[in-house]
Amino acid sequence: MVVELVFLTGNANKMAEANEALKETGISLVPPRQRVEKLEIQDNRVENISLYAARHASRRLREPFVVEDDGLFVKLLNGFPGPYTAYALKTIGIGGLLKLLEGVKERDAYFLSAVTLHIDGRLYLFTHRVDGTISLQPRGSSGFGFDPVFIPNGYTSTYAEMDLSLKSKISHRAGAFRQMAAFLKNYYEKFKER
C-alpha cells in the first residue's frame, strides 16, 4: 500500500514526527496544495477539536486528509492545560507549568492525541494516550512544545531527550497515526475486493 495523505498542520515538527511514525506503512503525509484553514474551536476535549477541524476542512478539500489535535493533561491541575496546551505554552510556557507544580511530588500527566481522517466523505477518529510524569526541570533539546518536561512511563528521558526515531515509536501522536494506518490498510484491502 502506497498512499499520500494531506496533513492539515502548520507545525513542521508534527509533520516530521507523524511521517517518521508512518514510514514503514507506505503512507506519507504532505501539506495541502491549496491554502486550507484549520479551524480550531475551544472545547474541553481534543477529540471534538480534531473532528470539528476536519468537518470544516471537508467543505474545501475533496481529497483524503487528516487533522490532529493533542494536549498535555496534568492530573494535579485537573487536566490543565489539556486542549489549551498550545495557548498555555504561548502564555505561561514551560516555566509557568513548572511553577504551578513547584514543591509537588504528585506529577502524573498524560499526552492525548486525536487524529481525524477524512476519506470518501466520512470521518474516522483515532486516539492514543501516553501516561507519564512532569520532570522537575526542562531536559533535552529535541522535540517541541512541552516535550522537555514530559517523561513517558517506562522511560527516564523526557520526550525532548529522545531522538525523533525513538519518540516516533512511543509518542501519543505516533500511536494515533499508527492506528489510522492499520485502519487504512484494512480499508484499502476491502476496497480492492469490490
Helix (H) or strand (E) run with residue 6 in it: strand 3-7
Confidence of residue 41 (pLDDT cuts 50, 70, 90): confident
Confidence of residue 192 (pLDDT cuts 50, 70, 90): low
40 pLDDT higher than 70: yes
How much is the pTM? 0.93
Sketch the domain layout of the chain as residue ranges. Answer: 3-193
Q: Where are the beta strands (DSSP E) in 9-159?
A: 27-30, 65-74, 81-82, 108-119, 122-134, 150-152
- Is residue 131 flagged as an active site residue? no
Question: Which are the contacts of 64, defined by CB distance < 8 A and separation ≥ 6?
Answer: 3, 5, 6, 117, 118, 119, 120
Q: What is the pLDDT of residues 51-83, one digit of tens each?
A: 999 999 999 898 999 999 999 999 999 999 999
Average pLDDT over residues 121-138: 97
More confident residue, 32 or 74: 74
3-193: CATH, from 3.40.50.720, 1.10.3720.10, 3.90.950.10, 3.40.630.40: 3.90.950.10
Q: Residue 52: what pLDDT?
A: 96
Average pLDDT over residues 42-46: 92
Burial class (CB in 10 A: 0-12, 13-18, 19+), 114: buried
Q: What is the pLDDT of residues 163-179, one digit of tens each?
A: 999 999 999 999 999 99
Average pLDDT over residues 113-138: 97
Confidence of residue 194 (pLDDT cuts 50, 70, 90): low
Average pLDDT over residues 99-127: 97
Q: Residue 34: what pLDDT?
A: 78
Q: Which of 43, 69, 108, 163 is catalytic?
A: 69
137 pLDDT higher than 60: yes
